[in-house]
Amino acid sequence: MPSESEESQGFYEMLWDCPHCDTKGLLGKSQRHCPECGAPQDADKRYFPTPEQQKLVIDTAPPSGGADDGVQAPVVGGHVYEGADRVCPACQAPNGAKSKNCTQCGSPLDGGAEVAAKQDVPVAAPRHKRRLWPWIVGVIVVAIFAIWFFFIRKHSADVTVTGHRWERVIAIERYDDLHKEAWRNEVPSVVSNAPICYPKKRSSRSVSDGEDCHTERKDKKDGTFEQVKKCTPKTHNEDVMDDWCTFTVRGWGKISEAKAAGTGMVPGPSWPSPPEPDTAPEVLGNKRRGPRTEKLTLDFGPDDACEVVDTVWRRFADGAKAHVEVRSRSGGVVCDSL
Ligand SMILES: [Zn+2]
Ligand SMILES: [Zn+2]
């Protein structure tokens, strides 16, 4: 998961409109009173500048915060954040966090509430995403419950062993020209004929695609807001190609198998005895016995069985009770519990 990086792009002033003389776009930090009629600022009426208002300011940023036309919010140079404004309990005028008495009416600010933060509304907020995720979580919870209910839920029970089955297999191999496929770097150095290769996707790698960025504006509640640029790295997957080769190599290849099978613990499992020898010289056409495999099965009635290791297979006689876990839904024996 790519991590998100954050970069502050500086502090800007919030705006407010004078409700008494209708002057618009006054500055939240530097204009605590209306320059036209002197009315105090109402912190509840602060708002974020539109992107156009803000862009104008960034492009033609004046050195300090003059407010002639009322539509500007210059970068607050050297802004020292002292904390959220507090509202005067007597006259509701917002005051800086360090003020002790109201600059408007002189009343002590003890007990004055913090200014409420304004929420910036992103232009293209994908609102449906928020509504969708509870449904996704719900579906996942139901699916997990269903899997548990039908496949995992189990309890202990005594089941009767109704039969023992065994099967033993010896592979029969012939020394031959074997047709094989592999990536070029895995082709053995000694082959019967030159490998034939074609390009094929072997893996994929993540390739950087720059960044996905957006800006967020956070009300600092002192008449300014901070603009933060948030970026997440963007990537796309690219195929990594390689050569896939077919080739012929001389070696022992399985051509058939000899099988012995039976039921019951007595006389018990025995190996088949095919005519091929255990070993043979590496000469084209020679045959030999290859790897051996054994399969032991315990039956629990006609429809249920478990493949087990030798010690477990011999632990229970036919007709014996085995204390095991069974699936609550199907009644099937959980073979791992044997
Ligand atoms: Zn005014
Ligand atoms: Zn006051």
163 phi/psi in degrees, rounded to 5: -175, 160
pLDDT tens for 96-128 read 888 888 888 989 988 888 998 988 876 554 555
Whole-number Å distance, alpha carbon 94 to ligand 2 midpoint, is 8
Residue 191, both tokens: 């082959």
Inform me whether the pLDDT recorded for 172 exceeds 60. yes
Inform me whether the pLDDT recorded for 69 exceeds 60. no
Whole-number Å distance, alpha carbon 277 to ligand 1 midpoint, is 108
Whole-number Å distance, alpha carbon 109 to ligand 2 midpoint, is 8
Whole-number Å distance, alpha carbon 66 to ligand 1 midpoint, is 16
The SS3 assignment for 304 reads coil
- Own/partner contacts of 154-157, CB < 8 Å, gap of 24 or more, are 154/325, 154/326, 154/327, 154/328, 154/334, 155/325, 155/326, 155/328, 156/323, 156/324, 156/325, 156/326, 157/323, 157/324, 157/325, 157/326
Whole-number Å distance, alpha carbon 198 to ligand 1 midpoint, is 79
pLDDT tens for 250-276 read 999 999 999 999 999 888 899 999 999
Q: Which ligand is nearest to the CA of 41?
A: 1
CB 164 within 8 A of CB 299: yes
Whole-number Å distance, alpha carbon 227 to ligand 1 midpoint, is 28
